[in-house]
Chain A
Amino acid sequence: MGFDQYHEPPEELSAETRTFVRLCTSLTEEAEAIGWYQQRMAVETDGEARAIMHDAQGEEFKHFCMDLEFLLRRTPLWREIAEGILFRDGDIVEHGEEAEEEATEGAAERGAPLAGGESLGIGSLREAVA
């Protein structure tokens, strides 16, 4: 089995970073599978076979969401940007630009950690005070 999910020598990466990368790879694979099932269902004429694929695609939706939630929990900056974009009506691009700007400025002020870093990521606690 190869280790081509890493772009850097795995032995130089921390355990946290390797886990982070594994879940990023898994997220990509789930998204690919969702796309594959979508194509298969589009061309399949047998209704029973299509129903099975539909069910299988649902599984991939679940896996994708679990992977994503894990990564968002481990990466506060990513989570903050996602919160500004996901499950909102309106212009997606506009929400994306606003969320990125607000989140990155806020993270820099708080001294937030980089994704996959080894510190506890505590930084400033000014916002934690009521």
Chain B
Amino acid sequence: MSHLLREHAPITEGNWELLDSEARERFAPALAARKLVDFAGPHGWQYSATNLGRVEEIDDPPGKGVVGVQRQVLALVELRAPFAISRAELADADRGAEDADLEPLDAAAHRIAVAENAAVFHGWKAAGITGIVEASPHDLIALGEDCERYPRHVAKAVDALLSAGIQGPYGLALGPDAHTRVLETSEHGGYPLLEHLREVVGGPLVWSPGLRGAAVLSVRGGDFLFEVGEDLSIGYESHDAGAVNLYLEESLSFRVATPEAAVALT
């Protein structure tokens, strides 16, 4: 049995399939960072740190005529989003109900996806994670609310990447507000702004909950490194007569190898 303790939960095999399938569906649109950065793993629950390949000198070695250095690693972070599912709803699903209320799972999936994206784009100082936006050495580009000027701003970001010697293709991550404005906008002549932006960057355009503003980044690979120990999983916490307490969980690290491979737009 794994640490997820799924077999202790009063949940039938059919309902585990239902919960896993629902979670996968909810994650697919929201896990924006995984659509743009390099992914490594899963390395397993016991994998605790990412090798940074660097060392740091240590003072006062315990002996004369020797020096000591210590390996530097980035410890993985465990992200967990708890939720509770009504046992009555699970029983109805076992009877064949097609509309079981899994909203708490959906909300937890969204929370953990937003946190994952925010860690990748904006960092997580307490966890030692530097995000793509804060790592970028390029000047911030103001997006503003005039959508018709977006292609110009995004083209300026692509230009900055090219000038820094960063090859494409490039991807455009759009925070929810910017994404909504883009979807609602057609330029003169009715051409969807979405398509125009896609042509400018030459790569994916990704709805990115958790990102404030937008970012243009190279998706050539090797620049932004996301690593998981345990990939997203559902585990069991406890239950009572009314509900089963579960959680979504993953362990991860993220590091920026090429800070200049992204430009932030605010």
Contacts and interface: CB of A to CB of B under 8 A. Distances in A.
A110 B31 CA distance: 14
B9 to A, nearest CB: 10
Contacts of B2: 14, 118
Interface string B8-43: 000001001000100110011001001110011110
A15 B10 CA distance: 12
B28 A123 contact: no
Nearest to A129: B204
Contacts of A110: 39
Contacts of B16: 15-16
Given A111-B40, A111-B228, A122 B234 contact: no
A125 interface: yes
Given A14-B7, A113-B42, A129-B206, A123 B35 contact: no
B230 interface: yes
Nearest to B250: A119
A12 interface: yes
A111 B13 contact: no
B231 A126 contact: no
For chain B, give the interface size range: 20 to 34
Nearest to B206: A129
A118 B4 contact: yes
Interface string A99-130: 00000000000110100001111111110111
A19 interface: yes
Contacts of A126: 34-36, 39, 219
Interface string B207-227: 000000000000100000000
Contacts of B234: 120
Nearest to A15: B13
Contacts of A130: 204
Given A14-B6, A110-B39, A120-B24, A125 B31 contact: yes
B28 A125 contact: yes
B264 interface: no
B42 A111 contact: yes
Nearest to B33: A125
Interface in B225-240: 228, 230-234
Given A111-B42, A129-B204, A129-B206, A15 B6 contact: yes
A123 B39 contact: yes
B241 interface: no
B58 interface: no
B204 A120 contact: no
A120 B206 contact: no
Among A14, A19, A111, A120, max chain B CB count under 10 A is at: A120
A118 B233 contact: yes
B1 interface: yes
Nearest to B21: A120
Contacts of A111: 39-42, 228, 231
Contact of B28 (A12, A119, A128): A128
Interface of A: 11-12, 14-16, 19, 110-111, 113, 118-126, 128-130
- Closest A-B pairs by Cβ, 10 of them: A124-B39, A129-B204, A125-B34, A119-B233, A119-B231, A129-B35, A125-B35, A120-B232, A111-B41, A111-B39
Given A113-B42, A123-B231, A124-B34, 4 more contacts: A110-B39, A111-B42, A118-B2, A120-B231
